[in-house]
Amino acid sequence: MASGALLKSSKLCLSWHAAKALASQSRGFTTKLTEQQQAIQELARKFSREHLKPNASKLDLQARFPFEQLKQLTSLGLMGATVDEAYGGLDLDYLSLTVAIEELSRGCASTGMIVSIHNFLYANLVNEKGTAAQKEKFLCNFTKGSIGCFALSEPDAGSDVANIRTIAKQDGDHWILSGKKSWVTSAIEGSATVVFATIDPALRHKGLACFLVPLDAEGVFRGKKEPLMGVRAATACDLTLDEVRVPKGYMVGEPGDGFRIAMEQLDQARIGIAAHAVGIAQSALDTAMEYAKERVAFGKNLTRLPSVKDRLSDMCILVETARLLTYRAATDVCTKNSAMAKYVAGRNAAAVADHCVQIMGGRGLSTNYSAERHYRDARGTQIYGGVTDIQKRLVGHYLLKEHDAL
């Protein structure tokens, strides 16, 4: 071998050994939660097991808002999980909130959804983007029992946020808001809401502005409770804003900042919905496993039947893959990660719930059992917070952007 080739081969060998040594040192990759995160997970899991799961069916069948459960969660600090301690919050990281929402949704999907939206879409927004005066008025009480809402969608503006038609007109030191919002979760029970309006429809997304609006303000009218397919203990209704007059100090940011604020908050919201979906999926797996262990067919437990065992295996894989993507999104928040998490978690939850119904057969269709509730609850996770079609397009957009292929 020529000396040049030998030297090259020797360098390659040394590089390989160096890489191998480096790899052995970096085997510390782990998905294990920190002690604090584990403590929050256990806190939420215990509460869910003792206070949510036993009441979930009744709350769902009666479509009854979980006032008592939310009061208890407030006392635990989970209605201000990531809010600064100065405003009554726990000052936790997003992953801690994520695992809490997963565990709460495992016990009662409706309660998990309410907690998710209150935290990720309202409390976090005010905590991270509000002024000191805004936090004093619109945050302090919202870690102590008041519920916050997020009013973005309209009859003709859902995924197409730039098509918002709620108008904001400046009048001296005030803004006057007029329009109609749709699907506002917890607006019936809430005390304040984030409202997105346009200062000029012709500007599309560049004309959007973000406001904090008390729900008892003159000119705010709450519509009737929308009958829902799933998460029936949660509420959603229309909000009509009829020349609602708010001080200019209630605007978050500046005119034109609304689109950016909405998109940043939706990046967070998708993590919450993904966690919500993982919790529903885990509960469906729990339900199917408990049933399969007890049910006997063809002289043996269902767990011994290959077809059922295969379904349970598929369910486990679907839950774990969704969980991993959701935890990653919570620790590395960006549009691509949160869109992937919501896309996969929503689809997987629906698939797991379907398996659960199938394993339980006729009982899976009965409201006397939880399988059909999981099935209904799971379906909504592919809709609210941005439909799966939009999530897939977001992933594709940012994937191509990373590779300079747009």
Q: What is the 3-state secondary structure (H, E, C) of 29-77?
A: CCCCCCHHHHHHHHHHHHHHHHHHHHHHHHHHHHCCCCHHHHHHHHHCC
pLDDT tens for the chain, 406 residues long, are: 555 554 445 455 546 566 555 555 555 667 889 999 999 999 999 999 999 999 999 999 999 999 999 999 999 999 999 999 999 999 999 999 999 999 999 999 999 999 999 999 999 999 999 999 999 999 999 999 999 999 999 998 877 888 899 999 999 999 999 999 999 999 999 999 999 999 999 999 999 999 999 999 999 999 999 999 999 999 999 999 999 999 999 999 999 999 999 999 999 999 999 999 999 999 999 999 999 999 999 988 999 999 999 999 999 999 999 999 999 999 999 999 999 999 999 999 999 999 999 999 999 999 999 999 999 999 999 999 899 999 999 999 999 999 999 8
Q: Are 107 and 101 in contact (CB under 8 A)?
A: no
What integer pLDDT is reported at residue 7 of this predicted model? 44
Q: Is 199 helix (H, G, I), strand (E, B) or coil?
A: coil
Nearest to 211 by CA among 232, 196, 226: 196
Classify residue 240 as exposed, middle or buried by CB count within 10 Å of its CB (0-12, 13-18, 19+): middle
What integer pLDDT is reported at residue 303 of this predicted model? 93
Fold of 35-143: Butyryl-Coa Dehydrogenase, subunit A; domain 1 (1.10.540)
Backbone angles phi, psi at 2, to 5 degrees: -65, 150
Residues 115/116/119/120 CA torsion (nearest 10 deg): -170
CB atoms within 10 A of CB 249: 13
> pTM for the whole thing?
0.92
Supply the CATH classification number for the domain 148-256.
2.40.110.10
Amino acid present at 315 = M
Which residues of the chain does CATH 2.40.110.10 include? 148-256
Backbone angles phi, psi at 299, to 5 degrees: 80, 10
Which residues of the chain does CATH 1.10.540.10 include? 35-143
CA 53-149-332 angle, 5° bins: 75
Distance CA 330, CA 345 (A): 13
Which residues of the chain does CATH 1.20.140.10 include? 260-402
CATH class of 260-402: mainly alpha
